[in-house]
């Protein structure tokens, strides 16, 4: 079977062994593999431990036609190591004589129920694509990502039906050389569960952790 190209998934989460970012990116990667693409995955927080690892990242980037960047939101921004990875890729691309034609798709998830908290991070990534000479394929934004917590999407049932549909549409678009359709963006941004349920479960989880660490009675303290 002739390859349609090569796709590199860059996972920007430091959470191991699995993260929501990796679950989202891996599902999309599998969809592209079924559509005839060769695929590869690298974990960004692992690449800054040595020059060898950084060189491996740049080599993987060079041989790819599509870059998929999946990461969690850190205070309205990509994590610091993701930004460092962007800077590394940008310098490398401009160090050559000619920029290779490549596409970039970004998937951002946050802990807030509302997906719009990711807008600034997606704008940062879009600017990166412009600076690095990458073709912007689009950005997918998910709220309440903690509900996935690294689990495979295919095992999560109806809660992630819109997420799966969004990623399937994204796979089709990328395979056809098109940007991500608006329908995929809208589906990804739909809440996984009602906001009040998400916040209730989050509050219960917070109290459970406080009890485990013996600080349950201190949650309302105001030391400052």
Q: Is residue 91 part of a domain?
A: yes
Is 131 domain-assigned?
yes
| Three-state secondary-structure class, residue 6 | strand
User: Which pLDDT value is given to residue 97?
Assistant: 64
Q: Where are the alpha helices (DSSP H) in 133-181?
A: 161-175
Q: Provide the H-helix boundaries in the chain.
A: 20-34, 51-62, 80-95, 119-132, 161-175, 182-189, 195-212
Same domain membership, residue 183 and residue 91 = yes
Given a cut of 50, whether residue 1 has pLDDT beyond it is no
Dig out the tokens for 129 from the structure.
Answer: 């694509």
Residues 183 and 85 in one domain: yes
Domain assignment of residue 167, yes or no:
yes
Q: Which domain holds residue 69?
A: 6-193
Note whether 211 and 147 are same-domain residues.
Answer: no
Task: Report the C-alpha gap between 7 and 170 in whole angstroms.
Answer: 13
Flag whether 1 is in a domain: no
> Which CATH number belongs to the domain containing residue 16 in this structure?
3.40.50.360
Residue 104 and residue 176 in one domain: yes
pTM: 0.87
- Do 13 and 87 reside in the same domain of the chain? yes
Regarding whether 125 and 219 lie in a shared domain, the answer is no
How many domains is the chain partitioned into structurally? 2
**Looking at the domain assignment, is residue 159 inside a domain?**
yes
Lowest mean pLDDT among 12-26, 31-45, 97-111, 195-209: 195-209
> Which segments of 71-155 does DSSP mark as H helices, in order?
80-95, 119-132
Regarding whether 199 and 128 lie in a shared domain, the answer is no
Lowest-confidence segment of 114-123, 198-207, 209-218 by average pLDDT:
198-207
In this predicted structure, what is the pLDDT of residue 75? Answer: 87
Whether 151 and 202 share a structural domain = no
In a domain, 25, yes or no: yes
* Statement to judge: residues 171 and 220 lie in one domain: no
Say whether both 152 and 204 belong to one domain: no
> Which comes out higher in pLDDT, residue 133 or 224?
133
pLDDT band at 157 (very low <50, low <70, confident <90, very high): confident
The answer to whether the beta carbons of residues 44 and 81 sit under 8 Å apart is yes
Confidence at residue 14, expressed as pLDDT on a 0 to 100 scale: 87
Q: What is the pLDDT of residues 138-152, one digit of tens each?
A: 999 999 888 898 899
DSSP H helix total and E strand total for the chain: 7, 5
Per residue in 52-110, pLDDT (tens digit) is: 888 999 999 999 999 999 999 998 899 999 999 999 999 998 887 677 889 999 999 99
Same domain, 178 and 199: no
Residue 147 and residue 210 share a domain: no
Percentage of residues in the chain with pLDDT exceeding 70?
96
Lowest mean pLDDT of 57-66, 108-117, 210-219, name the range. 210-219
């Amino acid at each position: 079977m002739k390859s349609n190209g090569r796709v590199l998934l860059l996972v920007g989460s430091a959470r191991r062994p699995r993260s929501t970012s990796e679950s989202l990116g891996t599902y999309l990667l599998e969809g592209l593999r079924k559509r005839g693409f060769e695929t590869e995955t690298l974990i960004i927080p692992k690449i800054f431990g040595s020059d060898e690892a950084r060189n491996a990242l740049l080599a993987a980037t060079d041989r790819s036609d599509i870059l998929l960047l999946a990461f969690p939101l850190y205070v309205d921004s990509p994590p610091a190591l993701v930004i460092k990875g962007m800077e590394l890729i940008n310098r490398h691309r401009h160090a050559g004589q000619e920029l290779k034609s490549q596409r970039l798709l970004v998937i951002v998830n946050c802990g807030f129920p509302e997906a719009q908290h990711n807008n600034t991070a997606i704008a940062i990534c879009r600017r990166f694509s412009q600076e690095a000479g990458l073709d912007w394929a689009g950005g997918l934004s998910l709220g309440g990502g903690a509900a996935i917590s690294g689990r495979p999407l295919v095992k999560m049932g109806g809660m992630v039906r819109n997420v799966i549909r969004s990623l399937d549409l994204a796979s089709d678009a990328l395979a056809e050389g098109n940007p991500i359709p608006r329908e995929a963006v809208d589906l990804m941004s739909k809440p996984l569960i009602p906001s009040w349920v998400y916040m209730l479960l989050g509050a219960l989880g917070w109290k459970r952790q406080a009890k485990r660490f013996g600080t349950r009675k201190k949650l309302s303290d105001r030391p400052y």
